Amino acid sequence: MKQFNLWIGLVMKISQLSKLTNTPASTIRDYEYQYFIEPAQRLDNGYRIFDERHVVQIKLCRLAFKVTVSKHLRKASLQVLYAAGQGDMLMCQQKIEEYIGLIDAEIQKVNDVMEIIKKWISHGNDEESKQDYSLKMAAECIGTTKETIRNWERNGLLNKSFSTYQRRIYTTSDIERMRIIYMLLQTGYSVMAIHKFFSTLSQNNNNALLILTNPDKDEDLFSIQDRWLQTLKAAKAEALKMQVLINKKI
């Protein structure tokens, strides 16, 4: 484990740390409880004291939580904070790189899926080019788990089913459909809305995208995906700030 390089004699109480980092004392206590920052030292009189390590760790927390991300991206960002909370900055650096890599992968998925949807709407679901994928290969392509794909099957999203012991084989078209399902679920569409979208699309109906209009904000799919793309880019910007912060301390 490699600790921070420089810990100058900056010692403070929680009220001072709160003011310095613009973070409520209750939030700092929560960070400590969640192991995002190292436990505070205590003086003989019982007062808790903090130092520069905690300043950096709190800054990492503020950057990590600044943008609301999906569940699996949040899990990756928490791994960064856990490493920092243990004082392991090399591991923290590694986890930040992994987090940025996952964000980049999500950005690419959004771009890929929008191209797939445009193609399907313009030319239909082309089955001419096929490649066989096992369940494991499909999960790896989509970036999800085998059980998640089984759940999509059980919910009728894949438009195909397999018996309990039947070996699952998927085509290129199935993989494209899975990519669409994954992205739509990530951005909050219900299973019912996705069913309606595919049903309308299968009829070569150009109004398929209207099924995915957000009734509250009157946004179509492309507007919502653009907003999600901007969120991912914002998350990456904060992750890069985390990387700069840690690199200065290693």
pLDDT class of 206 with cuts at 50, 70, 90: low
Q: Which two tokens stand for residue 244?
A: 């700069």
Q: What is the CATH T-level fold of the domain 14-104+236-247, as seen in this structure?
A: Multidrug-efflux Transporter Regulator; Chain: A; Domain 2 (1.10.1660)
| Averaged pLDDT score across all residues of the chain | 84
Q: Do domains 14-104+236-247 and 105-230 have the same CATH topology?
A: yes
pLDDT digits (tens, 9 = 90+) for 214-239: 545 555 666 777 788 889 999 999 99
Pairs from 211-214 (Cβ < 8 Å, separation ≥ 24): 212/184
Query: How far is the C-alpha of 212 from the C-alpha of 64, rounded, in Å?
Result: 30
The answer on pLDDT for 123 being more than 90 is no
Query: How far is the C-alpha of 201 from the C-alpha of 21, rounded, in Å?
Result: 51
The answer on pLDDT for 65 being more than 80 is yes
- Residue-level pLDDT at 205: 57
Contact status, residue 60 vs residue 242, Cβ threshold 8 Å:
yes
Contact status, residue 249 vs residue 4, Cβ threshold 8 Å:
yes
Q: What is the CATH number of domain 105-230?
A: 1.10.1660.10
Q: What secondary structure letter does DSSP report for 129? A: S
- Residue-level pLDDT at 70: 84
pLDDT digits (tens, 9 = 90+) for 70-88: 888 999 999 999 999 999 9
3-state secondary structure of 234: helix
Q: How many CB atoms lie within 10 A of CB 218?
A: 8
Domain ranges, ordered by start, for the chain: 14-104+236-247, 105-230
- Residue-level pLDDT at 212: 60
